[in-house]
Amino acid sequence: MEKEKLKVKYNSGHGAILCSGCSVILKVGFEYTDEELKYSRGEIDYLPPQYCEQCVLKYTKQQ
C-alpha cells in the first residue's frame, strides 16, 4: 500500500495544493514553501498530506 502524500494538481499550468481529504484548494503556487515548490517540480519524492480545517475537525472527532 502506497503511503498517502501531498496532493498537487495543475490547471492551465498553475499549481494548487489540495486537501487530501476533500480536495478543496489549500494553496496556490505563489503561496508554496520552498519544499512544496520542489515537490511540485518532482525534485523531492514525498511530502506529508495536508488537510483543510473541516477535515481535521472531522477526522479528530472520529478518533
Within a domain: residue 12?
yes
Within a domain: residue 2?
no
Contact 50, 20 (CB under 8 A): yes
Domain membership of residue 58 as a residue range: 7-62
Within a domain: residue 54?
yes
Structural domain total, the chain: 1
Instruction: Give the global pTM.
Output: 0.84
12-63, pLDDT tens digit by residue? 888 999 999 999 999 998 999 999 999 999 999 999 999 999 999 988 887 7
Within a domain: residue 1?
no
Burial 24-37 (b: 16+ CB within 10 A, else e): eebeeeeebeeebe
What pairs with residue 10 in β-bridges?
A: 15
Within a domain: residue 14?
yes
Band (2; pLDDT cuts 50, 70, 90): low
